[in-house]
């Protein structure tokens, strides 16, 4: 079981004057219970890649394989794959449309022909996971606060219990507490066996959370692997549009000046290393 | 009233129609000409409401807001206030009305009924300042997010305002787009423009000289940047500090960097290396 992306390329408006290559030969893989972050500058192909993971668009070349099923237009298993891969767009609350939260949350289960009582069970479970009160079900989604709307929009995807959850900039526009709450929710999903794919341009936010990191640059895979490995690869030649965390940036500059500090994004670690260096300089 | 004061707010409260709870209340603050004030606070803390009070888009339910000595309550001066204080919002897509870049920038001045040579001059200037001159004749849809947001700023600048109010104007931009926009704002500020900026990105505090923290509609803190940096004001109020601020305090506390150094990775690293090598 895994979600595999093999040498995928994507060309928009193929064979027209507007032809644009969005992705070139990108490969990576996500397993259940794993958190992969995809980072890259605007226009690096992140969103195109996300849309490919549940068959909204199909690669111009290469393959996307979900739990052994290859995605292609009109594949008979497309609907079941879409249920396996939940896709949360940027600003998902802009897509709320139902008159009540209950209707909103029932939409996907009905679409997948899940019996009402079973769907209701799932809705209750998801409300609990999102720390939302059941009283919210009768409310109009448009009356909710921004943070609650985001939760409901996410819940409407998560309710059908996808094996993989793809989120495009899920924390955009949220304040710090909202971001922390969302990240901790994603951690819970990951720990319960969901494969999480988080798309972002903020590498600092994901370094501590994700298991593996895919860095895209101009549609190509610039780096792939555990955060420490990626950081090492990017250290001397940062990827376009990526701002390294302050602590890491400082560590890099100190190393370039000849100080022996580790390539870390943890403050405590960096300070410890600096203190060691200072005392060895003095002695 | 002091001549160099652009905003003077006295015990302001604002209630949205149909809401009993005020979105903001008890807010008293002064902002001088030429300051850069950053306003931070959680979602729903009243930041955007406060911003809209500053250019008379919203009129306080209680209290008074003076803009360059004029009460925003007075309909006779509201138009002038909106010329002096222009806003740039979060989503660049929602602010652009014209299909060609220079027409977009001309939209505001045209509404002022200015002679066409004046309008052309303002458009040229605003596009120049925001680095968009080469795009003057381009369709607005062809711009990147960062460029669109600079275009929104150019549109505001063409009104020749004394103050720009930014409501999360960088939040939908990538790091590159953010740098482009803040670069322009920094130059304008150095030339004397007052900037009031609402943001979740606490890194942007370093651009400002004063910081206001809103919490549940109240002004929880208002002071200068140094005060924010040296204490733990932000974390006490539940606002995330950039890791560089904490690193800066730790290093300063250990005497490893000088007092004058700003909490930026490049400045701290340079200073630290200098000190160690001595």
- pLDDT tens for A239-252 read 888 888 999 999 99
Candidate from A146, A241, A254 with C-beta closest to B272:
A254
Quote the pLDDT of residue B3.
Answer: 58
- Given a cut of 50, whether residue B270 has pLDDT beyond it is yes
Put simply, the answer to whether A249 touches B265 (Cβ < 8 Å) is yes
Q: Report how far apart, in Å, the C-alpha atoms of A245 and of each of A249, A273, B201 are.
A: 6, 17, 13
Q: Which residues of chain A have pLDDT under 50?
A: none
CA distance B64 to B7: 10
Put simply, the answer to whether A42 touches B270 (Cβ < 8 Å) is no
Instruction: Residue A73: name the closest of A61, A62, A57, A87 by CA.
Output: A57
Give per-residue pLDDT as tens, B114-173: 999 999 999 999 999 999 999 999 999 888 888 899 999 999 999 999 999 999 898 877
CA distance B106 to B214: 35
CA distance A271 to chain B (A): 8
SS (H, E, C) chain A: CCEEEEEEEEEECCCCCCCEEEEEEEEEEECCCCEEEEEECCCCCHHHHHHHCCCCCCCCEEEEEECCEECCCCCCCHHHHHHHEEEECCCHHHHCCCCCHHHHHHHHHHHCCCCHHHHHHHHHHHHHHCCCCHHHHHCCHHHCCHHHHHHHHHHHHHCCCCCEEEEECCCCCCCHHHHHHHHHHHHHHHHCCCEEEEEECCHHHHHCCCCEEEEEECCEEEEEECHHHHHHHHHCCCCCCCCCCHHHHHHHHHHHCCCCCCCCCCHHHHHHHHHHHHHHHHC
Instruction: Residue B245: name the closest of B264, B271, B225 by CA.
Output: B264
- Given a cut of 50, whether residue B1 has pLDDT beyond it is no
Secondary structure of residue B198 in the 3-state scheme: strand
Strands B5-14 and B24-32: antiparallel
Mutation target to probe the A interface, by most A beta carbons within 10 A, among B39, B179, B245, B247 is B247
Confidence of residue B186 (pLDDT cuts 50, 70, 90): very high
User: What number of residues does chain A have?
Assistant: 283
**CA A207 remoteness from chain centre:** 12
- Chain B residues close to A177, C-beta within 8 Å: 42, 238
Q: Domain B5-241: what homologous superfamily? A: P-loop containing nucleotide triphosphate hydrolases (3.40.50.300)
- Chain B residues close to A205, C-beta within 8 Å: none
User: What element of type H or E holds B25?
Assistant: strand B24-32
* 8 Å CB contact between B7 and B30: yes
Give the nearest chain B residue to A42 (CA atoms).
Answer: B174
Quote the pLDDT of residue A146.
Answer: 77
CB atoms within 10 A of CB A151: 27
Put simply, the answer to whether B272 touches A247 (Cβ < 8 Å) is no
Residues of B with CB under 8 A from a CB of A: 41-44, 90, 144-146, 168, 171-172, 174-177, 200, 238-240, 242-244, 246-247, 250-251, 254, 256, 264-266, 268-270, 272-273, 276
User: What number of residues does chain B have?
Assistant: 278
| Least confident interval from A216-220, A270-274, B69-73, B93-97 | B93-97
* 8 Å CB contact between A164 and A30: yes
Q: Which two tokens stand for residue A146?
A: 């921004």
- Chain A residues close to B43, C-beta within 8 Å: 145-147, 174-175, 178
Instruction: Residue A184: name the closest of A158, A208, A201 by CA.
Output: A208
Q: How many CB pairs under 8 A join A and B?
A: 95
Strands A3-12 and A61-66: antiparallel
Instruction: Residue A179: name the closest of A188, A194, A189, A169 by CA.
Output: A169
Quote the pLDDT of residue B278.
Answer: 64
Supply the Cα-derived Rg of chain A in whole angstroms. Answer: 21
Per-residue pLDDT averaged across B5-14, rounded?
97
Candidate from A145, A267, A274 with C-beta closest to B256:
A274
Quote the pLDDT of residue A16.
Answer: 85
Instruction: Residue A257: name the closest of B129, B163, B276 by CA.
Output: B276
The interface predicted TM-score (ipTM) is: 0.76
pTM: 0.83
Put simply, the answer to whether B175 touches A270 (Cβ < 8 Å) is no
Secondary structure of residue B278 in the 3-state scheme: coil
Which segments of chain B belong to CATH 3.40.50.300? 5-241
């Amino acid at each position: 079981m895994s979600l595999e992306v093999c040498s995928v390329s994507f060309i928009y408006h193929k064979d027209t004057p507007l032809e644009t290559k969005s992705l070139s030969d990108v490969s990576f893989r996500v397993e259940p219970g794993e958190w992969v972050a995809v980072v890259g500058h605007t226009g690096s192909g992140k969103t195109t890649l996300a849309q490919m993971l549940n068959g909204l668009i199909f690669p111009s070349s290469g393959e996307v394989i979900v739990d052994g099923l290859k995605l292609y237009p009109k594949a008979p298993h497309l609907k079941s794959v879409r249920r396996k891969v939940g896709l949360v767009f940027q600003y998902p609350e802009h897509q709320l449309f139902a008159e009540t939260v209950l209707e909103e949350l029932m939409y996907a289960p009905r679409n997948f022909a899940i019996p009402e009582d079973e769907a209701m069970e799932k809705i209750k479970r998801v409300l609990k996971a999102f720390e939302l009160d059941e009283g919210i079900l009768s409310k109009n989604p448009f009356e909710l606060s921004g943070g609650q709307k985001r939760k409901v929009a996410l819940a409407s995807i998560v309710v059908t219990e996808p094996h993989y959850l793809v989120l495009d900039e899920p924390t955009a526009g949220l304040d710090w507490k909202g971001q922390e709450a969302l990240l901790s929710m994603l951690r819970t999903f990951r720990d319960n066996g969901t494969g999480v794919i988080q798309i972002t341009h903020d590498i600092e936010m994901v370094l501590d959370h994700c298991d593996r990191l895919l860095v895209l640059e101009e549609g190509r895979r610039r780096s792939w692997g555990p955060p420490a490995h990626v950081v090492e690869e990017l250290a001397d030649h940062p990827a376009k549009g990526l701002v390294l965390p302050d602590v890491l940036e400082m560590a890099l500059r100190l190393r370039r000046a000849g100080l022996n500090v580790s390539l870390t994004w943890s403050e405590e670690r960096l300070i410890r290393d600096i203190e060691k260096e200072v005392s060895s300089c003095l002695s | 009233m002091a001549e160099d004061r652009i905003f003077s707010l006295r015990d302001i409260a604002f209630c949205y129609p149909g809401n009993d709870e005020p979105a903001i209340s008890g807010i008293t603050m002064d902002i001088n000409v030429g300051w850069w004030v950053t306003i931070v606070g959680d979602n729903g803390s009243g930041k955007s409401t406060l911003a809209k009070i500053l250019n008379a888009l919203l009129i306080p339910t209680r209290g008074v807001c003076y803009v360059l000595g004029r009460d925003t309550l007075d309909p006779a001066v509201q138009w002038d206030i909106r010329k002096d204080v222009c806003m740039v919002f979060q989503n660049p897509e929602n602010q652009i009305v014209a299909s060609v870049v220079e027409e977009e920038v001309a939209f505001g001045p045209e509404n002022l009924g200015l002679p066409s040579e004046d309008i052309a001059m303002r458009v040229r200037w605003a596009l120049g300042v925001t680095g968009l001159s080469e795009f003057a004749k381009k369709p607005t849809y062809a711009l990147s997010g960062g460029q669109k947001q600079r275009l929104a700023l150019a549109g505001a600048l063409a009104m020749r305002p004394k103050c720009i109010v930014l409501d999360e104007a960088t939040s939908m931009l990538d790091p590159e787009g953010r740098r482009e926009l803040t670069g322009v704002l920094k130059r304008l500020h150095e030339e004397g423009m007052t900037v009031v900026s609402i943001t979740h990105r606490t890194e942007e505090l370093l651009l400002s000289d004063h910081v206001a923290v809103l919490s549940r509609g109240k002004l929880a803190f208002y002071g200068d940047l140094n005060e924010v940096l040296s204490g733990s004001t932000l974390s006490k109020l539940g606002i995330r500090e950039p890791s560089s601020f904490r690193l800066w305090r730790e290093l300063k506390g250990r005497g490893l960097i000088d007092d004058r150094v700003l909490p930026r990775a490049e400045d701290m690293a340079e200073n630290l290396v200098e000190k160690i090598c001595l």
